[in-house]
Each structure stands twice: as C-alpha cells, then as structure tokens.
Structure 1
Amino acid sequence: MTGNAQRPLGLAQLSLLNTAPPDLVAVAAQAGFDFIGVRVRPVTPAERPYDLHPGSPMLRKTLSRMQDTGVTVRDIEFLLLDGSDQREAWLRMMEAGQALGASSLTVAGADPDSTRLVGTLARMTEDGRGFGITPTLEAISYQPVASIAQAADIARQAGCRIVVDTLHFNRYNGPGAAAQWEELRANADLVPLLQLCDGPAARPATREELVTESRSEREVPGEGKFSLAAAVAALPASLPVSAEAPSDRRVAELGELGWARLLKSGVDAVLAQASSLQLTGTLDTAGAK
C-alpha cells in the first residue's frame, strides 16, 4: 500500500479519534496506510467508547474490514498508570488487542512512585505474554514520566518497551532535555514504533495548553518546526512509523479521508528526507524537518 518496502506506515486512532475502528480501517486503506492503532479504552469521559471485546459486533465488523483491505492493527491504547490497581482494565484491553492481532499496548506513567511503576509494568508485561502483547511506555511531556531517559530506564527494569511520540519528544524541557537526541539513539532497541506529528517551535506555556495541543491541535508532519527527519534517521530504517496528528479544525475542513491523505503525504515527505540524511550520515537535529 505504501510503496515503501522497508517500513510499515500507520494511522493512529488519535488522528481521527471520532472515527470508529471499522471506518478507520477503511480510511487508512484508501489513504495508503498499512496499519492502524486502535483506542480500545477511552481516555476521557467525553470520548466515544469503542467496544472491541471478543464477540462484539464492532470487533466482527473491524476484522471483516481488515480482511477485505489488508490493513492490520499493530498497537492498542491507552492506559494511564496512576498507581492504582488497574489489572482488570489492562487484561480487558489485552483481550481486545489479541482479537485484533495487536502486538503492543501503549501506556503512560502518571505514578510519581517510580519503584511502584516499575512493579506495575513488570506485572503488566508478564500478563501480556499470554496475549502476545507488550506494554510500551510513552514519555508524555506533562506527566511524571516525561523524557526518553526516564521511560527507557523504567522499561528496562520492567522488561517492556517504549514508544516515541515526536510531539512529547520536542515538548520535554526538564532535566536532561539537551541529551534527548543521545537518549533516543542509545535506546533505539526499545522502540517498536515512532509516532510522527509536527508543531511550532515554541512550547505551550501552561500544562493545560500542552494537553490541548496534544489532543487536538497537532500539525501535519513536515509542516511545522520539529526535526522529524532527524528523529526518523536516528532509528532503524525498518521501524514502523505511525501518523499521530489530531486536528479538530482540519478534520472538519477536509473530512476524515482528506485529513488521512494529507497525513500520508506528510509522512512520505519526511521519510524521503530521512533517507537522504541516512545516506549522507548527517543528522541535523536543529534544521532537519
């Protein structure tokens, strides 16, 4: 579908949060993506829930669309690990993920107790083996686990992996921010998926603005100021890449398929630039977009 023999390309659920998974499969196929990410558990009370548990009509319809189009599900989301007992929630998510053929479940670390978080993730990782699903810890710029270094350290202790989101990679400004690029390259072995979006160079001033940008105001890859090609080039050439770029305004303007096609074009352009960087051995983390 992508014409890129080296790496699969995906469309994250957050890019079209209000598009039900069966329809997301169809949109992804028409736009030229190979896989999708699926939100099997709502993050906020305002989100539309998607029932994808074994036996549900939506699961059957999603699987039928997948069979018809060849689009697969690679990752499911999203669980915010806050220190409470969430085992029942992740087991249900893993049941849905296994039925969809997913291989990873994205989580974030909101628990300020890192020792407890490691224990939670270790238990989750052990549970995931029975479903063929590995937890992937995402560094979120406004959560306690905010940097690649933090996420990688916790993941190595727990035996799981990390997912890299270029928004949060660029928005992190805490201790060790200057070493983010070194940490990305040093922990490439932990990364099963790179999520691409773009944005302005200026970091939002407040946590509320960071959350708003993250959930509904991201830019098309290549249209902003992030060093996306350098991020791609810093990781293995075969690594799957997913477009995670929600924009309520532009989805309303372009429609679901129009937005998905624009994201696909942006990802393709970034990957072409990254290939040039890899060929020349130049990783311009300041100027490469």
Structure 2
Amino acid sequence: MNHPFSLAHLTALECAPPELTYLAAQAGYDFVSIRPIYMGLPNEPNYDLANNKAMFKETKLALQQTGLSVYDIELARINDDIDPLIYEPAFEVAAELGAKHVLSSIWTDDTELGREKFAQLCDIARPYGLTINLESVPIASVRTLKGAIHVLEDVKRENVGLMIDAHHFHRAHDCVDDIKSIPKEWLHYFHLCDAQKEIPTSKEEMTRILREERLYIGEGGLPLKGMLTCLPDDMVFSLEMPNRQRTKELGTFEYIKQCLASAKTFIEKGNTYAVKK
C-alpha cells in the first residue's frame, strides 16, 4: 500500500506555515495541511495568510524550496453567526498554494441552516477547484459519521468530501462497517492518530485530549486496523496527533518524526510503535 502522509497543522500548531513546511519536509512528509483560517480559539496563533502577505510569500517560498504541496486547509466552521462568504479569501490562498481540499464542520443545531450554509460553502469553493470535506466531531452539532453522510446526501454537490478523524470516529461510537458504505469519491484524506480507549464523559476532557494528548499510532486503543481496512489503498493520511507534553520534551521536529515513524510502522508491519525513551 502506497499511502502519502501529510502533517496536520494541529500537530505542531506552534509553527507558522513556513516553518511547518520546512520541518515536514525534513521529517519525510509528502504534504502539509495548514490552518490559514483564524478562528479565535484560546491560545490559537493567527496564521491568516490572506491578510498576512509577508507570511503568505514565505509559505509559498517554503513550498517551492522543499517541493512539498499543501494538501488541505482548515477550518471552515459553520455556525449560526458565520457567513460562509468570509472564507473566500482563504479559498483563494489555498488555490494559489496548490491545495485541493478544505476541512469543514457544522456547529449549529439548526439542521436546515447547517445544510444550507454547507451547500453555500461548496458553491463558493467550486470556482477555486476545492472540495469541502465535512468532518463529524463529537463535540459539534454533526457528531457522527452517519450524520455527516446525511448532510452530503442532502446537499447534492459535486465537490463534497467526507473526512474521517480516527479520534472523533471512536468517541462518537461510530461503526467500522459504516465506512464501507461511503462512496469512494467522497474519501479524499483521513486524520490518523491514536488515543486512549476510554471515552471521556465530559466535553471539556474530550476537548483537552483531542487538542493536546493524542498518542502515537498503535499506542492507544482506537480500532485503527478495522478502519484502515475499509479505506482505499492510496488514501492520504493526515497525521493530526497533537501532544503538548511530548512536544515539550522532544521538541517539535523530533516529535513529528516519531509521529510519522509510528504511522509507517503500524501500516507496513501492523506492529505497535516502540516509543523511544
């Protein structure tokens, strides 16, 4: 199986897109997945490339010098108050950097409004050659894989995708067999990570773990083998594995190297990754 790997920005969010690109190339990744959409979350750096022309030029230069490409950008959230048109500058940036995909999630409990805005997002992205990939998130409004599938079936847009995150899949009690029913043309990439098997009972603890305590591939208790057997052999794996403590102990570069090593070992040999002491 020939799986390309992308470094998801959340794994090393302390790195601006240019630095992320250089580190990803040195560590052996094939792509980078960046977050040029600023959401204003606590402790979130602002990498709004559409309004930071200097950083945009530096990112473009880093891509040229390393030969890497941007695989996707994130995160085009949908909620009650956001007009999807605000994301168009980021879509323009994504297209200029060579990205093909945008990650989105739905955070409004108004089902009709969520579908309407998701369809609008697809229409805005289409002229830029971008797909909009819906991610089900257990702390959001569209929480499950089946819920995300229903959204895509309802909006009936050609440039849609379904992005499965291994952590979210397990926390939502999704079933591996449901992956088999997904149209293959919807599956553009997969967020690969591992985490403890026990599912937190509080939203706060689940949020903390997904943002700062994910594990090496094969180290935790997620049903990864079952999920991966349902995916195309050339699936792009975006490694979203933030772990604050390990990054602090190892440094960003060594940590992202071990993330990639754990993924390759697990996929190629089916073994649990031996973490370096």
Partner of 1:247: 243
Q: In the alignment, is residue 17 of structure 1 matched against residue 13 of structure 2?
A: yes
User: Is residue 2:182 matched to residue 1:187?
Assistant: yes
The reply to whether residue 128 of structure 1 matches residue 125 of structure 2 is yes
Alignment TM-score, normalising by the size of structure 1: 0.88
Would the aligned equivalents of 1:114 and 1:154 in 2 still touch at CA under 8 Å?
no
> What per-residue deviation string (whole Å, max 9, x for no partner) do you get for residues 120-170 of structure 1?
111111111111111111010111211111101102222221111000001
Moved more, 59-68 or 82-91: 82-91
TM-score between the two structures when normalised by the length of structure 2: 0.91
SS in 1 for 2:32: strand
Name the counterpart of 2:169: 169
Aligned-CA RMSD value: 1.7
Q: For the Cα contact (< 8 Å) 2:38–2:48, is it kept in 1? A: no
Question: Where in structure 2 are the equivalents of 1:16-165 lying within 5 Å?
Answer: 16-43=12-39, 44-53=41-50, 56-158=53-155, 159=157, 160-165=160-165
- Retained in 1: the 8 A contact 2:79–2:106? yes
Question: Match of 2:169, as an amino acid?
Answer: F
What is the distance in 1 between the residues matched to 2:193 and 2:26?
20
CA contact (8 A) 2:24 2:32 kept: yes
Q: Structure 1 residues 206 and 11, CA, compared in 2 at 3 Å: closer, same or farther?
A: same
Equivalent AA in structure 1 for residue 15 of structure 2: T
Percent identical: 26
**1:54: how far off?**
7.5
Which blocks of at least 5 consecutive residues in structure 1 are unaligned?
Answer: 277-289
Show CA shifts across 1:220-247 (max 9, x none).
1111111223212211001111110001
Residues 95 and 131 in structure 1, CA contact (< 8 A), matched pair in contact too: yes
Runs of 4+ in structure 1 off by over 4 angstroms are: none
Report the CA distance between 1:83 and its aligned residue. 2.4
1:279 match: none
Query: Alpha-carbon deviations, 1:34-86, whole Å to 9, x = none?
Result: 00100012331531101312871111111111111111101100122112242
Q: How many pairs were matched up? A: 266
Summarize deviations over 1:23-43 as a string: whole Å, max 9, x none. 101111111100010001233
In the TM superposition, what whole-angstrom CA distance separates every residue of 1:253-286 from its partner, at most 9, and x where no partner exists? Answer: 1111101100010110222146x9xxxxxxxxxx
* Matched residue type, 2:108: D
Q: Distance in 1 between matches of 2:82 and 2:48?
A: 22
